Structure 1
């Protein structure tokens, strides 16, 4: 069962998502928080698989992305949003909406891909989450990125962004074939984080550190040795902020599951339904 849905952030912005599963039958509810610039449709196969396991799953688009990009914005020039907005307003609204649709008493779980696993502590209401799964999640600090990526990100952060963004008024990633279109404020804030060793904590300081350290939900991290973006150092760095959570860290090589490649996005491909997806299914079953 798949149902397109709309819900409002606390500032009145209309967000679009998709509910997968039967709310009347599902015993648990899962929020699937996307990576930077990745539309919700990318996660549909995995969400439908989770629904068949008995979960109610909400996928959604941050404002300015996918179905949550207003028709009035052919480009994102002048569109106001940053990563904090995505976390504090959009993801918080998605969590509230999912909770309103789930059966009374159904535990809430969080699956975050990349950015979706970085922002948990910034989201109001995250205290209601029973467990967290991060997939391909790391800090984003550019000098810890996978070494093959460092020339690319140097070019991105120090050449492309400073030149292109003031001219376009947003990050025209679709035309550049890099990441995807992003609001100016999102790219500006993300760039600032990525250039600092402490990543997002360089902005939030002690206040944000305390919020992450206060998280007590058990956490499963799935990272991959061939991730073209996130190194082992990136992964260790971001999960270090979740200092109060009991963590299970799994770093998987393609050969471990008889595959040639997984990478940053591969986990959500249908070809891993029999090998990688059950690792999350088993975790959710134990955490229910």
Structure 2
């Protein structure tokens, strides 16, 4: 397997950067869409495993974060929905051009799966596998985490924007630094049980997209101890999505897997190789042959 750095340009001129994990005899391409403000290295072990099983994996950063960060976040005008409307399609176009003859999959975590329906170019997608893809309605979160979320969105972020012009979260180990409009739009969606499907946003500030006309199978993993993507928030999101193929779910229970916790990011820890990743490859292989 070889690693290859790349960059590509969105239709609006924004440059995105990432890495490709390319096995010797690839059987398909995987576009991996990260969670919001998450270091992409969190996912590297998992994607290396997929690459070892024959899947070219593309790991990349959204505009305004990580390697794709702007030189001047203070004056950055990026929004959260730009991830799905502009960034994800640009990565897919790049991959389609680089590997035109290989089947195409999307594997996604959190916001990376929420916004797939905003992509304009889903024509050749064989299937999607998601981890912790849901809404994020505050009242459905455990109280302790809800307080943390309120602090981040309503106290820390506005103060950070006041003093720096953006959400300077990295020094406080909260997440990667983010443009202010990304965080503010995210915050607005979290206030609604139906997330961006709420009538306040959907069809207005958020395009109708392809959420009700997917043509591929979708499988979503969620865990009962996830503070964000719990059962209520998962159901609240997926009731708005339709596909011509099966939409299925796997509920994970940490104790039954011999684990103390999984929560929102535990899917990608190395210890999950035999407990979860093997199953993910089986599902990908099944989607590939059907």
Do they superpose with TM above 0.5? yes
- The 3-state SS of whatever aligns with 1:42 is helix
- The 3-state SS of whatever aligns with 1:83 is coil
Q: Deviations over 1:21-41 (max 9, x none)?
A: 23x721111110000001322
Structure 1 residues 12 and 158: alpha-carbon distance in aligned structure 2, compared to 1, 3 A threshold: closer
- The 3-state SS of whatever aligns with 1:271 is helix
Instruction: State the Cα distance separating 1:13 from its structure 2 match.
Output: 1.5
Q: Is the 8 A contact 2:118 2:209 kept in 1?
A: no
User: Which segment is superposed worse, 54-63 or 155-164?
Assistant: 155-164
1:204 aligns to 2:202 (yes or no): yes
Residue 186 of structure 1 is matched in structure 2 by 182
Q: Is the 8 A contact 1:31 1:58 kept in 2?
A: yes
Instruction: State the Cα distance separating 1:145 from its structure 2 match.
Output: 2.4
- The 3-state SS of whatever aligns with 1:171 is coil
Q: Is the 8 A contact 1:146 1:231 kept in 2?
A: no
Instruction: State the Cα distance separating 1:103 from its structure 2 match.
Output: 4.8
Gaps of 5+ in 2: none
Of 111, 114, 123, 2:110 maps to: 114
Residue 237 of structure 1 is matched in structure 2 by 236
Q: Is the 8 A contact 1:28 1:55 kept in 2?
A: yes
Q: Is the 8 A contact 1:209 1:241 kept in 2?
A: no
Instruction: State the Cα distance separating 1:209 from its structure 2 match.
Output: 5.0
Residue 214 of structure 1 is matched in structure 2 by 213
Q: Deviations over 1:50-77 (max 9, x none)?
A: 111111111110011111114x34xx21
Matches within 5 A, 1:265-280: 265-280=265-280
The Cα RMSD (Å) is 1.9
- The 3-state SS of whatever aligns with 1:57 is strand
Q: Is the 8 A contact 2:119 2:209 kept in 1?
A: no
| TM-score, with length taken from structure 2 | 0.91
User: Which segment is superposed worse, 8-17 or 162-171?
Assistant: 162-171
- The 3-state SS of whatever aligns with 1:43 is helix
| TM-score, with length taken from structure 1 | 0.92
Q: Distance in 1 between matches of 2:163 and 2:33?
A: 30
Gaps of 5+ in 1: none
- The 3-state SS of whatever aligns with 1:31 is strand
- The 3-state SS of whatever aligns with 2:163 is helix
Structure 1 residues 188 and 200: alpha-carbon distance in aligned structure 2, compared to 1, 3 A threshold: same
Structure 1 residues 146 and 102: alpha-carbon distance in aligned structure 2, compared to 1, 3 A threshold: farther
Q: Distance in 1 between matches of 2:235 and 2:104?
A: 25
Paired residues in the alignment total: 283
Instruction: State the Cα distance separating 1:162 from its structure 2 match.
Output: 3.5
